[in-house]
Amino acid sequence: MRTMKVGNITVDTSIFTLIAGPCVIESEAQVMEVAARMKEITGLLGIPFIFKSSFDKANRTSISSYRGPGINEGLRILKKIKDELGIPVVTDIHEPYQAELAAKVVDMLQIPAFLCRQTDLLIAAAETGLPVNIKKAQFLSAKDMRNVITKVEESGNENILLCERGNTFGYNNLVVDMTSIIEMKKFGYPVVFDATHSVQKPGGNLISTGGNREYVEHLAKAALAVGADALFLEVHKDPDNAKSDGPNMVKLDEIEVMLKKFIKIFKAVREVESNSYSL
């Protein structure tokens, strides 16, 4: 299994890694507060941490929904987090031209699930040389990700992470097939489980996406139990009043307790896999 540098940390599948932050940048103060607190918590727990937040949410349900501060202001804020807190940052890109701009600031690029088959977007991300976290689309099987990977590899980049975030199951519902994690690990790249987007109810609130955050911890535990290498969690101080993805984001004051449980499961699975675990 490949390892890779993301800023000042190494993503190593023998060590639990966390990608986390608010869904979208609501303000500089908001993301700085979350990032600082997350750095403190992950530092105490010894968890390699990558901060995530989006400068634009281009796939909101409603045209009137909040999208973010835009690329220029968003990247300025992410750079401040990176420089002042000393933590690597990742953000989504939605169009090919954004890859080069974002790569001047961030340490990893993220491809949204709906866009993971967009060839030009994948090529642009790959050509930056940065690690690329590719979310598996809600309409693809795990095995279909082979073609997605090939587009990035043949563009000269093997710094790839694959992210499971559930599959469409009827209307306004997602279901997570945990065997997708097992299948994607066969490609030889780290597999991330997005525990918060996996509990979404897409369009479930008619003009916005719904969700159920009470399932986040359970799905994350299950994903780690079948071998996920890292977790992606959207975290917010006050999810009920968030401007995007509130129903499925984890409350900042609850994250530390969850992470302690996740670390135990991750370590237990790795011990079993190395045949060194004893009852």
- Chunk the chain into consecutive blocks of 10 residues (it has 279) and report each block's average pLDDT, rounded to whole numbers: 91 96 96 98 98 89 83 98 98 98 98 97 98 97 97 98 94 92 97 94 63 92 97 96 89 97 96 69
Q: Which residues of 175-214 are buried (b: 16+ CB within 10 A; e: fewer)?
A: ebeeebbebbbebebbbbbbbbbbbbbbebeeebbbbebe
CB within 8 A of 279, min separation 6: which ones? none
pLDDT at 117: 97
pLDDT at residue 234 in the model: 96
Pairing of the two strands 191-194 and 160-164: parallel
Q: Which amino acid appears at position 26 of this protein?
A: E
Q: What CA–CA distance (Å, rounded) separates 152 from 238?
A: 37
Distance CA 161, CA 171 (A): 28
| SS3 of the chain: helix, strand, coil, percent, to 5 | 40, 20, 40
pLDDT value of position 64? 73
8 Å CB contact between 166 and 211: no
